Amino acid sequence: MATTKKVGYAVVGLGRIAARAVLPAFRHSRLAKLVAVVSGDGKKAAQFAAQFGASDYYTYQDYALCLGHPGVEAVFIATTNSTHADFTFRAAAAGKHVLCEKPMATTVDDGASMIEACRTAKVRLMVAYRKYLEPGSRALKTMVARGKLGRLKIIHTAFTIVLPEKGKSAAWHLDRTVAGGGSLVDLGVYSVNTSRWLAGTEPMEARAYAWTSDPDRFSQVEESIAFQLLFPGGLVVQGSSSFAAAEASFIQVHGEKGWAALDPAFAYNQERRLFGAIGGKWFEERFKVMDEFALELDEFAECIRRRREPEANGYEGLRDIAVMEAIYRAAREARPVPIPGSRI
């Protein structure tokens, strides 16, 4: 294990999220250091290593060499969804800790295997849920946990973007085998995970409806989907996601004593507003744009150094996969679908 104070990372996968958010975040990190980058394109890997200050770079074919690097203690996996499991298995086998982009995997079986692989290897596994760390979301969580809103009754939430046309966006988003789904797994996962996190309980049943205005383009994955999740105690979550509507995101929580909304809720480059009314009294607070990815890197580094389990652990990622599988089944079969129990 490296003896430097900062945890050495390799970033695996150099697509949009890595280029725009993950790699720049190392410049703002207190506890993490970029050691290596890994890509399917050797020239791109070399370019990114020079641009972001990584000492080493590798192709996917040389991933084993990266995992053998003494300065790499953890990997940040930002590859296509269907490859998360394999890159995790190999990292765990090499004794490297894993911070994996969401969705953690494309199937419950793969997610469960990732958890077991990391458990067996005694390495940490964290899923990249920024909301657990971002101040606006944490303020909302604290409000709910302290009972300020009273017993929760309704959560409304959505995340939408316009997916650029062919040639301007990654084609794998439209391939079910590679992506695992459409707007739900890319965007709706934020609504699913944040709702579960805020509620502090697991949903029991899913209902859903998927649609598209461009069936030729969205022949394998859904363009838009609306879903309903039923929680214990009478809480109902109404969620939606789309690849065909202007970028927006929000989560609005209604309780017996008041309501609160975070808007925008999920984008990482927009100022947030937390507002609502409790007992008829209005409140509002603003949260400036900050580097949420640096928070992730530092949180995982601290978990490694202090040998503690991340809050956004593999189990949280696994539960979201199970919920999304139920949502997809409910949409396909046009009926309510029960969600497996809290332990899969």
Question: What span, in angstroms and rounded, lies between the C-alpha atoms of 37 and 48?
Answer: 7
Annotated catalytic residue within 6, 33, 96, 102: 102
Question: What span, in angstroms and rounded, lies between the C-alpha atoms of 148 and 258?
Answer: 7
Token pair for 79? 């590859």
Q: Is the CB of residue 284 less than 8 Å from the CB of residue 273?
A: yes
Cβ-Cβ contacts under 8 Å for 267 (sequence gap 6 or more): 247, 249
Q: Which one, of 173, 21, 100, 17, lies nearest residue 321 by Cα?
A: 100
User: Is residue 15 classed exposed, middle or buried when 0-12, 13-18 and 19+ CB atoms within 10 A define those classes?
Assistant: middle
Question: What span, in angstroms and rounded, lies between the C-alpha atoms of 105 and 189?
Answer: 12
102 is catalytic: yes
Question: What span, in angstroms and rounded, lies between the C-alpha atoms of 320 and 311?
Answer: 14
Q: Is the CB of residue 54 less than 8 Å from the CB of residue 35?
A: yes
166 is catalytic: no
Question: What span, in angstroms and rounded, lies between the C-alpha atoms of 102 and 113?
Answer: 16
Token pair for 89? 């298995």
Query: Which residue do the tokens 């649609």 mark?
Result: 211
Cβ-Cβ contacts under 8 Å for 236 (sequence gap 6 or more): 153, 154, 155, 228, 229, 230
Q: Is the CB of residue 77 less than 8 Å from the CB of residue 9?
A: no
Annotated catalytic residue within 58, 63, 129, 190: 190
**What are the catalytic residues?**
102, 190
